[in-house]
A and B are shown apart, each in its own frame.
Chain A
Amino acid sequence: MRKIRELRVGLATCGVAAGAERVYEALQHEVETAGLRLPIKRVGCLGMCYNEPLVEVVHADGRIDRYGHVKPEDAPRIVSGRAVKDLEVDSERFLSRQVRIVLENCGRIDPESIDEYRANDGYRALEKALREMTPDAVIAEITASGLRGRGGGGFPTGMKWSLAAKEKGPKKYMICNGDEGDPGAFMDRSVLEGDPHRVLEGMVIAAYAIGASEGYLYVRAEYPLAIARLVSSIRDARAAGLLGDHILGTDFSFDLHIKAGAGAFVCGEETALIASIEGRRGMPRRRPPYPSSSGLWGKPTCINNVETLANVPWILRHGAAKFAALGTEKSKGTKVFALAGKIANSGLIEIPMGMSIHDIVFDIGGGIQEGGELKAVQMGGPSGGCLPASLADTPVDYEALKATGAIVGSGGMIILDQETCMVDVARFFLDFTQKESCGKCTFCRIGTKRMLEILERICAGEGTKEDVGRLVDLGEKIKANSLCGLGQTAPNPVLTTAKYFADEYAAHIEGRACPARVCKALLSYRIDPATCKNCGLCARQCPASAIADGDGAQVIDEVVCVKCGRCRQVCPFGAVLVLTGKVSE
């Protein structure tokens, strides 16, 4: 009989959405009825979201079996270990090239157990900092590690801390930015859900380094589970003397509050975030003064991203040199990325800086879904750009990526294939930034609107030859003249696609064609009479009643057709054709 130490079920948002809660209950029931004394742990996200619901069986000798796409009825097989071959997932390729610092505990420990965090060296870095190091020594260590802000800007963390530390007290604030507004990214959510104490520990250490007595954790409203886990973690940390007055019996006191965001992308920007905590409309203001000298309620304030802070305990425990040994000359350590889009293994990964985009997509990500072809990688969301497949050898490095027009960004990586229209992607992001613009400055408020109108026109097949030039011109001006980072980066998705996919813009404008067959106005649906078996399935499914009996085959009335594509999906014979362009025959 094999000896099992514990079972782990991934119960982060992704797991729960895939039905892991029911799997957990089934396992519990199975263990109980079998009369076994086997702990079943609720853990965070291991990163292999493509296999959710995911169950791990940890053997007494430390060996781990991983089972994916588990259904409640699989519980008996998993507990007995018999006939489970078909559930086993091959995680070797996905995990072997990753280096886990931030995600060290994610998917391994019970995020709601402070004891388990402590048993895994948790809060040891805080103890070391408070008992053995001066605030200056902590800052020196972080500076030596080369850690840079993971919220998108890449500002050196040690330098940010020393600026805040130099300011006069007594009142200073430490803020953790968990707004994660990039639509298509979930790094910070996974860390907050899977290892909340790590973020708290990083925050307390930062507060000690800069001399802050009070802190705020600002979390997106769309992350209810992360907020719930933070609330219980803060309570446990307080009870254990790791937060509040006289932390660990020292003279240092620090306490913190959670602020749930209320749905505004711009609130990720630091001055807007401060306005939001103060209870106002989240509008950015001009800098300087920077928050380090005048932030929350005019007091010196240090703002760091969730992932930045999650690196801090590890650096203090292992030393700056070990962190700095990872990565490239100017980009040290690791970076967490959320892989999504047309990728086979979508999920959360952590890689040493310097790895190429190609290796991320093909080695770790398992390539493109259903044998598609890599077309581009969108990095950094609405502030970022599209890196074409031809530049896939670019390493993950702040400066190298910036030179291409894309950015490392906060870690969203959306993989695009030949079925993605790059003009549509640019339109999508402009639609986003235009709606999220707070409206304070003219270039951002009106400029993004004009850019969006041009892009909509192009997607509708009404673009003119001058449009691309207009987009670039407007884009450059918006970048140069906007007040905050939102406007200063909003044109990036357009500028990079216009640069690397000029032919696709030309196809839309001159050929009235969408090569990826996405822009509906440029498509027409037709049934190939030679392939059609006249079964009438499409006609029954058509929501617009646009399909009728023709001469031995079904025929689509193009005037009535709404181009929803359902006929193409249901046709068993592949007889529905999608045509595009002026010369579509």
Chain B
Amino acid sequence: MEACFPAAKATRKAWDQIPRRPESIIPLLQSVQEEQGYLSEEGIAQVAAHAHSAASAVYGVATFYSQFRLRRPGLHTLRVCEGTACHVLGSEEVMETLKELLGVEVGETTPDGVFTLESVRCLGCCSLAPAVMVDNETHGRVGRKEIAAILKRYRKDAR
């Protein structure tokens, strides 16, 4: 099979540094997801080839860890913290509000492709509970007002 992944030159170069052994499966998958936003079938095949492993083994690893996703996400990923501190300080309401405003369930992407809604167990930001992570940015003490502001900001950026 002709190598069409990794597509970005920088990633291709980075892969040269990664040992061609099964121990590299997780970092390789992380790099695929970093570049594509998810793990395509093609990406998984490439990882298997590079790590000298069976595609089934790579798939087994990919489905074990919650970080990996097999479906293409939206432009921005909203991760609502459902850790202990956030739970006792109202993360359920945050989640319900987001579901209502976005019209999607956990794991789904809005029809316009802008937001994917996910949950996470603790962002390590418990003193600012309830917390929500948008892509790599953590927002603390979010209530209805903050949620609306966050959605508005990222929607605007998406245009």
Contact = CB atoms under 8 A, between A and B. Distances in A.
A278 B30 CA distance: 15
Interface string A389-424: 000000000000000000000001010100010000
A220 to B, nearest CB: 8
Contacts of A262: 26, 29-30, 65-68
B84 A184 contact: yes
Interface string B40-66: 000000000001010000001100111
A414 B85 contact: yes
A342 to B, nearest CB: 7
B81 to A, nearest CB: 8
A183 B65 contact: no
B84 A378 contact: yes
Contacts of A282: 64-65
B127 A279 contact: no
A50 B66 CA distance: 30
B27 interface: yes
B152 interface: no
Interface core residue of A189, A222, A277 (most chain B CB under 10 Å): A222
Nearest to A339: B127
Contact of B61 (A222, A261, A281, A420): A281
A164 interface: no
Interface in B123-159: 123-129, 131, 136, 138-140
Interface in A220-234: 220-224
Contact of A221 (B60, B67, B125, B138): B67
B51 A279 contact: yes
B89 interface: yes
Given A260-B27, A282-B65, A564-B93, A186 B84 contact: no
A18 interface: yes
B84 A414 contact: yes
A265 B21 CA distance: 25
Contacts of A428: 84, 87
B65 to A, nearest CB: 4
Contact of A280 (B22, B68, B136): B22
Contacts of A189: 124
A526 interface: no
A346 B126 contact: yes
Nearest to B126: A340
A381 B32 CA distance: 33
A263 B66 contact: yes
A184 B131 contact: no
Nearest to A49: B127
Nearest to A278: B23
A305 to B, nearest CB: 15
Given A183-B84, A263-B65, A222 B122 contact: yes
B120 interface: yes
Contact of A17 (B23, B60, B65, B128): B128
B86 to A, nearest CB: 8
B36 interface: no
A13 interface: yes
Interface in A316-371: 338-342, 346-348
Given A17-B138, A184-B83, A260-B30, A279 B121 contact: no
Given A17-B131, A262-B30, A341 B23 contact: no
Interface string A225-266: 000000000000000000000000000000000011111110
Interface string A170-194: 0000000000111111100100000
B17 to A, nearest CB: 12
A222 B22 contact: no
Interface string A280-324: 111000000000000000000000000000000000000000000
A132 to B, nearest CB: 37
A579 interface: no
Contacts of A4: none
Contacts of B64: 264, 281-282, 438
A276 interface: yes
Nearest to A562: B96
Interface in B63-95: 64-68, 82-85, 87-89, 93
Given A416-B88, A428-B87, A340 B120 contact: no
Q: What are the 6 A-B residue pairs with the smallest beta carbon separation, nearest first?
A: A184-B84, A49-B127, A183-B83, A262-B65, A340-B85, A183-B122
A14 B125 contact: yes
A52 interface: yes
Contacts of B124: 13, 180, 185-186, 189, 220, 222-223
28 contacts: A14-B127, A17-B138, A17-B140, A52-B127, A181-B121, A182-B84, A185-B126, A186-B122, A186-B124, A259-B26, A260-B27, A262-B65, A262-B68, A278-B23, A279-B23, A280-B22, A281-B61, A341-B84, A341-B88, A341-B126, A346-B85, A381-B84, A412-B84, A414-B84, A416-B88, A543-B100, A564-B93, A565-B93
A182 B83 CA distance: 8
Interface residues of B, number: 43
B23 to A, nearest CB: 4
Contacts of B87: 428
Nearest to A296: B23
B24 interface: yes
Nearest to B120: A222
A578 to B, nearest CB: 14
A263 B67 contact: yes
Nearest to B132: A17
A43 B6 CA distance: 37
A425 interface: yes
Nearest to B133: A222
Given A17-B138, A543-B100, A264 B84 contact: no
Nearest to B51: A279
A18 B122 contact: no
Interface string A542-557: 0100000000000000
Nearest to A282: B64
A16 interface: yes
A432 interface: yes
A347 B127 contact: yes
A185 B138 CA distance: 16
Nearest to A432: B121
A190 to B, nearest CB: 8
Contact of B88 (A220, A347, A420): A420
B98 interface: no
A552 to B, nearest CB: 29
B22 A278 contact: yes
A379 B67 CA distance: 26
B117 interface: no
Contacts of A52: 127-128, 140
B65 A13 contact: no
A425 B89 CA distance: 12
